[in-house]
Amino acid sequence: MTVQTSTSAKTEDRGAARALAGGVLFSLAFTALIAWAGPRLDAIRLLPDTGYAWYYWRLPEPNFWTRLSAWGGYFLHQAFTFWTIWYAQSRGLKYTRGLHWINRVALLGNAGFIGLHFVQTHLFYDGLAQDISIFMSQGSVIVLLIWVLLMENNRRGLVWGKKAPISQETVQWARKWHGYVFSWAAVLTFWYHPMVSTPGHLIGFVYMFFLLLQGSLFFTRAHVNKWWTVSLEGLVLVHGTLVAVGQGNGLWPMFFFGFAGLFVITQMHGLGLRLPVKLGILAAYLGGVLWVYNDRGWDKLNEIIRIPAIDYLGVAVLALLISGGLWVARRLRRKPGAPVPAGAD
């Protein structure tokens, strides 16, 4: 009996890690299913591509049912993820190596909505792209990435391990509410695209599946595993670079070196790497830049700073918005005539 109890406890302790591994395998397998079923959608007639602001994969003549299938699926999925986050936070759950029952509900529910979107694509095709701009879908993911940079400022800093001057109150507020923001970004982007089998869509859906998996493992140790979370950040490099290569616009170095620059400047400093390893990664990055731009042309070198500049500026703007909102909230809550606490203003 003692041996059985001990074995059961050890299995429970590894529950979150097992769920993470299983979720990764499920994500890869389902992406393979999308690739296998993709040719079935090739017969659907689409309008010509008219430029960078045009999203190609949408029906020329949508109808009530195509819109209802996409928006209905999105709203149900969004409400479900918001509810799981609210439930977990309202119950005061603690971080554990196992799974809370609400984690199991979230995992099964997200898997169900993934399957629903697959069926919806093959019956109705259209996603949310019919009604909202591609820039909203892309922008939501950018907000997610910037939010992570701000939220992780205390742990890994912003520039070579050095923290940005962001108040603890701002960081704590960002941590408290990040689940809702990340859920919105992931679910919106997930339902924006039909499950077609272009290389860009396939790597994009792998990334979305991973984000939904991460969002299902709240209040577990797997959710805050530094190697897993930095991998989620790094997948943007893979996706952005592959999409740019596929489009043939010659902009792949901007995405590759831009997101790699974020890793060198910020993200790798949360991994506990020793200084020689960090310097080796920096040297490899600079060597790659020299090799590529020696042929590409030094006049285009500014490409590599565009993405980091946007993201770091975004962190500053986000920090100001949150801190400003908190300041306004304090002012509104203060009773007339009440003394102002020291440092509140």
At 49 the pLDDT is 85
C-alpha–C-alpha distance, residues 266 and 268, integer Å: 6
The per-residue DSSP string of 189-213 comes to HHHHS-----HHHHHHHHHHHHHHH
- Mean pLDDT to the nearest integer, 216-222: 97
Beta-carbon contacts of residue 316 (< 8 Å; ≥ 6 apart):
164
Task: Using alpha carbons, list the distances in angstroms from residue 72 to 25, 119, 178, 278.
Answer: 28, 13, 24, 47
Q: Which residue has the tokens 């690739």?
A: 35
Beta-carbon contacts of residue 78 (< 8 Å; ≥ 6 apart):
183, 184, 187, 188
C-alpha–C-alpha distance, residues 224 and 222, integer Å: 5
**Residue 149 CB: number of other CB atoms within 10 A?**
21
Could you tell me the two tokens for 224?
């805050």
Say which range, 42-51, 103-112, 114-123, 226-235, has the weakest mean pLDDT.
Answer: 42-51
At 6 the pLDDT is 42
pLDDT, tens digit, 9 for 90 and up, residues 279-301: 999 999 999 999 999 999 999 99
Pick from 229, 180, 189: nearest CA to 208 = 189
Task: Using alpha carbons, list the distances in angstroms from residue 321 to 26, 148, 164, 168, 266.
Answer: 38, 15, 15, 14, 22
At 345 the pLDDT is 54
pLDDT at 3 over 50: no
pLDDT, tens digit, 9 for 90 and up, residues 98-153: 999 999 999 999 999 999 999 999 999 999 999 999 999 889 999 999 999 999 99
- How many Cα neighbours within 13 Å face the side chain of 311? 27
pLDDT at 344 over 90: no
Helix %, strand %, coil % of the chain (to 5): 75, 0, 25
Phi/psi region, residue 54 (left: phi>0; alpha: psi -120 to 50; beta: rest), is beta
- Give the phi and the psi of residue 282 in degrees, each rounded to 5: -60, -45
C-beta contacts of 312-318 below 8 A and 24+ residues apart: 312/149, 312/158, 314/142, 314/143, 314/146, 314/149, 315/146, 315/149, 315/150, 315/153, 315/158, 315/164, 315/166, 316/164, 318/143, 318/146, 318/147, 318/150, 318/174
Which pLDDT band holds residue 4 (cuts at 50, 70, 90)? very low
Q: Which residue has the tokens 């499920």?
A: 26
Run of H or E residues at 125: none
At 52 the pLDDT is 77
Which pLDDT band holds residue 247 (cuts at 50, 70, 90)? confident
Say which range, 161-165, 260-264, 335-339, has the weakest mean pLDDT.
Answer: 335-339
| Domain boundaries along the sequence of the chain | 16-48+60-328
pLDDT at 13 over 90: no
- Mean pLDDT to the nearest integer, 69-74: 98
- Mean pLDDT to the nearest integer, 68-73: 98
